A and B are shown apart, each in its own frame.
Chain A
Amino acid sequence: MPVFDVKNIRKDFPILSRRNLNEKPLIYFDNAATTQKPAIVIETIRNYYENINSNVHRGVHFLSEEATTKFEEAREKIRSFINADSVEEIIFVRGTTEAINLVATSFCRGKIKENDEIIISFLEHHSNIVPWQLLCECTGAVLKVIPINSNGDLMFDEFEKLLNERTKFIALNHISNAIGTVNPIEEIIKTAHKRNIPVLIDGAQSIQHKKIDVKKLDCDFFAFSGHKVYGPTGIGILYGKKEILDAMPPYQGGGEMISSVSFEKTDYNVLPYKFEAGTPNIADAIGLASAVEYISKIGMDNIENYEKEIFEYATNKLSGIEGLKIIGTAKQKANIISFLLNDFHPYDVGAILDNEGIAVRTGMHCAEPLIKFFSKIGTVRVSFAFYNMREEVDKLVEAIYKAKKLLG
């Protein structure tokens, strides 16, 4: 058996045997929006509800005990997956969006004042733009944006120029969801830390693609969504350094996040529970842990290498199509290709690909400032996962030729 047996791996994903309304086999190239779920994840969630379902951390009965054990084991598995120091640094949230909102609200409360500066990049998803705009509106702080060049690379020298004594926080993505640029986050973190500026990394597009070691990266926060890493929707992770999380006020109030409550004074719970008000999403936390276990078994290095091969194969094939223009040609790219075909509207191209059973994303990809920099009408985006095959890329190319013929 070869090292990476994609045909066998595909058998783990029940949905990949679906067909579209025209009975064409599904070719799923919308992995940056959400990834498909292996049977083990689906089975784990089903088993939880069939056999374990109970509220965590408070019952005296055996079910609650089992649910609590599974839930906390899940936290440990995720800690190990990103190599955090302790489970206290792993906060269960709804997804990347909630993680970023938590930091923008809680970390920055009381710390950010008028004329302070927050740095993001031109490549951000709306979820890493709007929470900071909300913060700026409340505090009078100013949002600064690291520019990109025409290839879609961040301009590092411009980033350095933005840094000053008013810079209080930096938030940027690891990989651009819209054009696939891989940002030099190691260098950015090092540079920021020389000035004691904390950095949040939006890892929504990198967690499923490459081995993440938060200790090695030395980022202060790392956020990702479960559903982009083969886990369920509605669950995600905020990693934060313990001493930083400890010093932060709670984000939301409620049950679970307290140690004692009276009308005069409430004491908050310890980490990580201080940030987990209310009954958590227990089933999906356990589901997410089974997803990271599943991909760890395949091996993140194997996944990265295979996805690189598919990405390069697709980049070469698409580049060969006359009239097709790839949007974003950064030096370091991964997994995501945005493109325009002749002067056709991306929507038209997407609709024709859909008719062929090929699922892609069209439009602004929740990154309107970035996409409008390149194209007023949006782009077509194909994004890969390790269950995609070269044959599927070939089918995509055929379908693009068909779109050219129909729309031309």
Chain B
Amino acid sequence: MSIKEKQEEIIEEFSMFDDWDSKYEYIIELGKQHPPLPDVDKTQENKVSGCQSQVWIKTEYQNGKMIFRADSDAIITKGLIALLIRVFNNQDPREIYNSDIKFLDEIGLIKHLSPNRSNGLLSMVKRIKAEAQKYLNNN
């Protein structure tokens, strides 16, 4: 599935919720289920700045695709990470770099999460794209 299709799938999923209470509940649930990053990977290098909670993203490449694993000490942030990873994992770095991430806006996450937090969210997207760019530059 392409990045665009994955985004559409998430938008569709969120359209089934009537109110923000259930959207929050869903994001929290995603956060709880998201596998933690081992402590050894919670390095300064993997840390994303610009988020109120701590966020780490570890990047790997397999057969030309990018694999992201990430964690946060806040559960809602972790839920958001889970959504991002779902969109970006196993994708071609060029696709990631060129992608238009519209689902955050469309499901209202940017509007509903205060600037601090949405900045964190955007910092994560920026970081993921920067990792893709790094790969493209090196190959």
Q: Residues on A close to B: CB < 8 A?
A: 21-22, 344-345, 347-348, 351-352, 354-355, 362-363, 377-378, 406-407
- Alpha-carbon separation in the docked complex, A347 to B24 (Å): 13
Most buried by B among A21, A344, A348: A348
Neighbouring B residues of A348 by C-beta, 8 Å = 28, 74-77
Check B73–A345 contact: CB distance below 8 A. yes
**Tally of contact residues, B, Cβ under 8 A:** 20
Q: List 25 A-B contacts (CB under 8 A).
A: A21-B20, A21-B108, A21-B112, A22-B21, A344-B75, A345-B53, A345-B77, A347-B52, A347-B74, A347-B76, A347-B77, A348-B74, A348-B75, A348-B76, A348-B77, A351-B76, A351-B117, A355-B20, A363-B52, A363-B116, A406-B24, A406-B25, A406-B28, A407-B28, A407-B75
Q: Smallest CB–CB gap between B48 and chain A, Å? A: 14
Asked whether, in the complex, the Cβ of B24 is within 8 Å of the Cβ of A352, the reply is yes
**Bound-complex Cα distance A354 to B73 (A):** 19
When distances are taken between beta carbons in the complex, the residues of chain A under 8 Å from B117 are: 347, 351
With a cutoff of 8 Å between Cβ atoms, the chain B residues found around residue A363 in the complex are 52, 116
Give the contacting residue for A355; candidates B24, B53, B74, B116; CB below 8 A. Answer: B24
B114 near A354: Cβ-Cβ < 8 Å: yes
With a cutoff of 8 Å between Cβ atoms, the chain A residues found around residue B111 in the complex are 21
Q: Does B5 contact A (CB under 8 A)?
A: no
Q: Rank and list the top 9 A-B pairs by shortest CB-CB distance, nearest first.
A: A345-B74, A347-B74, A347-B53, A347-B52, A348-B76, A348-B74, A348-B75, A351-B76, A22-B20
Identify whether the interface residues of B are mostly helix, strand, loop, or mixed: helix
Minimum C-beta distance from A369 to chain B (A): 18
Chain B 104-120, CB-CB to A under 8 Å as 1, else 0, gives 00001001111011000
Closest to A364 in B: B52
* Least CB distance, B54 to chain A, in whole angstroms: 8
Q: Cβ of B39 < 8 Å from any Cβ of A?
A: no
- What's the nearest-Cβ distance from chain B to residue A285, in Å? 29
Which chain B residues lie closer than 8 Å to A351 at the CB level? Answer: 24, 76, 113-114, 117
Contacts of A344 in B (CB 8 A): 75
Contact B19 A22 (CB under 8 A): yes
Residue with the highest number of chain B CB atoms closer than 10 Å, among A345, A347, A354: A347
Query: With a CB–CB cut-off of 8 A, which chain B residues contact A362?
Result: 52
Q: How far is the CA of A407 from the CA of B32 in the complex (A)?
A: 9
Task: Give the complex CA separation of A352 and B79 in angstroms.
Answer: 14
How far is it, in angstroms, between the C-alpha of A348 and the C-alpha of B114 when the chains are bound? 12
B19: A residues at CB distance < 8 A = 22
How far, in angstroms, from A49 to B87 measured CA to CA in the complex? Answer: 50
Chain B nearest CB, measured from A345 CB (Å): 4
Residues of A within 8 A of B74 (CB): 345, 347-348
Identify the closest chain A residue to B73 (Cβ).
A345
Residues of B within 8 A of A407 (CB): 28, 75
Question: Which residues of A have CB within 8 Å of B24?
Answer: 351-352, 355, 406
A403–B78 Cα gap in the complex (Å)?
Answer: 16
Q: Are B114 and A377 in contact (CB under 8 A)?
A: no
Query: What's the nearest-Cβ distance from chain A to residue B23, in Å?
Result: 9
Q: Which residues 102-139 of B have a CB within 8 angstroms of A?
A: 108, 111-114, 116-117
Q: Which of B1-53 contact A (CB under 8 A)?
A: 19-21, 24-25, 28, 52-53
What residues of A have a CB within 8 angstroms of the CB of B25 in the complex? 406
Task: Bits for B41-83, please: 1 = Cβ < 8 Å to A, else 0.
Answer: 0000000000011000000000000000000011111000000
Q: Which residues of A contact B108 (CB under 8 A)?
A: 21
Docked pose: A22 CA to B17 CA in angstroms? 13
Query: Which A residues touch B20, using CB under 8 A?
Result: 21-22, 355
Chain B residue with the shortest CB-CB distance to A356: B21
